[in-house]
Amino acid sequence: MLKSETDISDKIDHLFRHEYGKLVSVLTNAFGTSNIELAEDVVQEAMLEALHKWAYSGVPDNPVGWIYQVAKNKAINLVKREQFQNQMIPEVLHRLASDQNPTSLSDSVFTDKEIADDQLRMIFTCCHPSISPDSQVALTLKTLCGFSIPEIAKAFLTSEENINKRLVRARKTIRKANVIFEVPVGKELENRLSTVLEAIYLLFNEGYNASSGNKLIRFEVCEEAIRLAKIIAANPTISSSNTYALLALMTLNASRFQSRLDKCDSLIDLEHQDRDMWDQNLIKNGLYYLEFAAAQNEVSIYHILATISAQHCTARTYNATDWESILSLYDMLAAIDKSPVVLLNRAIVLSKTAGPKEALKAMNSIKDNTTFNSYLPYYTTKADLHFQNGEGHAAALLLNKALTLPLEEKTKTLIYNKISEYSEKN
């Protein structure tokens, strides 16, 4: 009897999201990094076979095991083809497709430990320094997180064609650089881990900072970034204080995710968020990670940003926020990272401790930075500070300038409404 196609599709989608990256990682270890796309094809074929067969026979008792067995059989058949023999990793090939006892030997490739180790290797492969940062994130979403190209395009707010180009470039770079499927050691590990953490944080921000797109998909981007950081943290020979600091930062920020958008998908600022919607379990976990990171006697951008996020998460109300402490943290951060965005955020905090006039002075010192020419938060923040300072006309002029940026209609409407508000109260 034909089962509900919607139910089966939902089951496959769940499995795809949670098992895809594991299987691709295991098969990439067998096929080699030059054949990542081949590994993806095998997993996708297994998922399609499940979709067709389960529609008639129903979902098996152990659906994950079923998918793994089908993917394993397809891989064994593939590696036995003569044209692929020289492309495979000999040792893994023998374990995967031994004629003596194929089931037990190939099962050794699919143990929990092997899967975890292969995912770790895949993280370092996707984030190889020879690959551009935007391609690193796209490849990570595709191979490790099981996101489709349309979903990745939504996450990046770009076209599917553009994402395809990034993936092609990344795979070509891996082949050309002959990237080895391994976790580096020694000094190289330290350098590569830094690149990996940067890519994971960029991945998290792709899901967290955008104000449009499918909510579920965007939150899943954040969840996947946290999951990848946890894989690194779980390995004591690789993990570092920075890993836990980044994990704390992402977990604390994710705790506020559901309160950041209204029913129309418009951003709600921190002051007006419903704090009852904040996930207390995530806050508890984030504070634990931060405590662990702080005990290592290291200070990085991740440590400072996580501590700032903790200040916000533990304040009972917006007015109870310890802005003086946060300003001190931003002073520390600015000493390490003088990026325009950091200085902009510091100016916002300064307005809470010293008033809008002092904050505007701080913003005037960075106004000539070209980064802000197309950065909407710069215009909206400065406009709000002018309004707080009793300068409604100056605020409206800034927002009118912001309207010249390439914006969605929804965003334009919000700015028009703000201009009207400033004009009425001027």
pLDDT per residue as tens digits for the range 232-268? 999 988 889 999 999 999 999 999 998 988 887 777 8
Rg of the chain in Å (alpha carbons) = 25
The CA–CA distances, whole Å, from 27 to 99, 141, 187, 382 equal 18, 17, 28, 51
Give Cα 319 distance to the centre of its chain.
Answer: 31
Neighbours of 96 (CB within 10 A): 27
Q: How many other C-beta atoms are found inside a 10 Å radius of the C-beta of residue 84?
A: 15
126: pLDDT strictly greater than 70: yes
Nearest residue to 195 via CA among 232, 142, 153, 155: 232
Both structure tokens of 370: 């070209």
**Measured in Å, how far apart are the chain's first and last C-alpha atoms?**
69
The answer to whether the CB of 7 falls within 8 A of the CB of 35 is: no
Instruction: Return d(Cα 193, Cα 240) in angstroms, integer.
Output: 9
Does residue 156 have a pLDDT over 80? no
Q: pTM of this prediction?
A: 0.83
Residue 355 has pLDDT above 60, yes or no: yes
Tell me which of 128 and 9 has the higher pLDDT: 128
Tell whether the torsion through CA atoms of 114, 119, 120 and 121 is positive or negative. positive
- Tell me: the pLDDT tens digits for 78-111? 766 655 555 555 555 555 555 444 344 345 556 7
pLDDT value at position 344?
A: 92
Under DSSP, the state recorded for 403 is T
- State the Cα–Cα distance between residues 228 and 197, nearest whole angstrom: 9
CA distance 303 to 290: 7
355 vs 358: CA distance, rounded Å = 6
> Which residue intervals of 355-391 are DSSP H helices?
356-364, 376-388
Domain ranges of the chain: 1-110, 129-239, 244-318, 322-426
Residue for token pair 């579920």: 216
Residue 161: its pLDDT value, please?
94
322-426: which CATH topology? 1.25.40
